[in-house]
A = this chain, B = another copy of it.
Amino acid sequence: MNIVVQKFGGTSVRNLECMKQVLEKVMVPYEQGNKVIVVLSAMSGETNRLIALAKEWSKTPDLAEMDSLVSTGEQVSTALFTMLLKDKGIKARSLLGFQMPIKTNTAHSRARILDMGSDEIFSLLDKYDILVVAGFQGCTEEKRITTLGRGGSDTSAVAMAAAVNADVCEIYTDVPGVFTTDPNICSQARKLDTVSYDEMLEMASMGAKVLQIRSVEFAKKYNVKVHVRSTFSDEIGTFVTQEDKDMESVMVSGIAYDKDQARVTLAKVLDKPGVSATLFTPLAENGVLVDMIVQNPSRDGRTDMTFTIPRADLEITLEILDRIKDEMGAQEILYDQNVCKVSVIGVGMRNHSGVASKAFQALRDENINIMMISTSEIKITCLIEEKYTELAIRTLHNTFGLDKSGSVENML
């Protein structure tokens, strides 16, 4: 049994006309004799409408009820789309999170998939040629509805593909694929033919909105071949796959950025054991996601601790710091909202030296000051002033020859 999984986002199913375009996409693998699993998001705007409704009813809506509420979005889109299939005489049915079931933990609004029940899906595929699966939703052991967080339909699709060992998991979206950088900023941005799971993870964590980060983790874990492509054309998109030799021959695959950042410094902290725990434990407890952390070598028994956080969390972070600053002996709290993270990403870095220094030089040549640096095996991230974002991206894109379609060969 050859199985193709296709996922369509909210924009792709926003009205009847768009759903008919989706229908055409679905008919392609179906008419080739494949079984097709179609994963749908809610019609665009619907999830936001439901959230707004809940906010009218309660300032802090109960999360379990919120999940029951917003999951109706996908229930509506899957029912409507299946009606189109049934009208064509196709053996099809909609499939909700509780019906499969997609078992998750009980973390409402950001649940994690625990189990998919491959046997159940295979036995449904014996009876139906097309299954229309409600993305974004799952179900706890106690049959309560959960949701997987924003963009969770990507994860639903990849998890389905993993469960049935599908040939490919096609993620249809409103862009043609994964680009070397944001085409809105850099006109020379180029669509990538392939990108590795790790590179995609780094890009997603930097705020690239093409795929939900957990879906990429899932794809990597279960080795699902993901094909990111456009609903509105027939063009081949970008394959997200296991790393191969060719990929490693390319030093840099893309430039990512994230403007949604703020930098905070706790100045002249008493440098004694446990000081990091004192600082970061209350932040974690309040759900503040700390990213880059820099601690300077101590002088005179005091040190500066600097870190970055999502800009929306600045207020609560400052409140927390104010509470603990005396305990830490800190003499000052500094912060800056006008910052941006820019990252150079590529699995090839593992085998090529000099990527970092080349990036630093390029930024220096444009007089862009680097405020913080962090590195991973396949990524170099620099925190810079926000106003230099576009300049930095274009400069780095150019420096690593990402505009050249033959860059793979160039680097060999």
Contact = CB atoms under 8 A, between A and B. Distances in A.
Tell me if A's interface is mostly helix, strand, loop or mixed: helix
Contacts of A71: 75
Given A65-B83, A69-B76, A99-B144, 7 more contacts: A50-B76, A53-B76, A54-B83, A68-B78, A68-B94, A69-B80, A71-B75
A87 B58 contact: yes
A161 to B, nearest CB: 23
A165 B79 CA distance: 36
Interface in A16-68: 16, 19, 50, 53-54, 56-62, 64-66, 68
A369 to B, nearest CB: 48
22 contacts: A16-B56, A54-B79, A54-B80, A54-B83, A57-B80, A57-B84, A58-B83, A58-B86, A58-B87, A59-B87, A62-B82, A62-B86, A66-B83, A68-B78, A68-B94, A68-B96, A69-B79, A71-B75, A72-B76, A96-B145, A98-B98, A99-B143
Nearest to A79: B69
Contacts of A87: 58-60, 62
A83 B62 contact: yes
Interface of A: 16, 19, 50, 53-54, 56-62, 64-66, 68-69, 71-72, 75-76, 78-80, 82-84, 86-87, 93-94, 96, 98-99, 143-145
Q: Pick the most buried of A58, A65, A66, A93: most chain B CB atoms within 10 A of its CB.
A: A65
Nearest to A93: B64
A93 B58 CA distance: 15
A68 B57 contact: no
Contacts of A68: 75, 78-79, 94, 96
Q: How many copies does the complex hold?
A: 2
Contacts of A58: 83-84, 86-87
List the 6 closest A-B pairs by CB distance, nearest first. A69-B79, A72-B72, A62-B86, A58-B83, A65-B79, A68-B79
A357 to B, nearest CB: 55
Contacts of A75: 68-69, 71-72, 75
Contacts of A143: 98-99
A119 to B, nearest CB: 15
A13 B64 CA distance: 20
Contacts of A144: 99
Nearest to A77: B69
A349 to B, nearest CB: 47
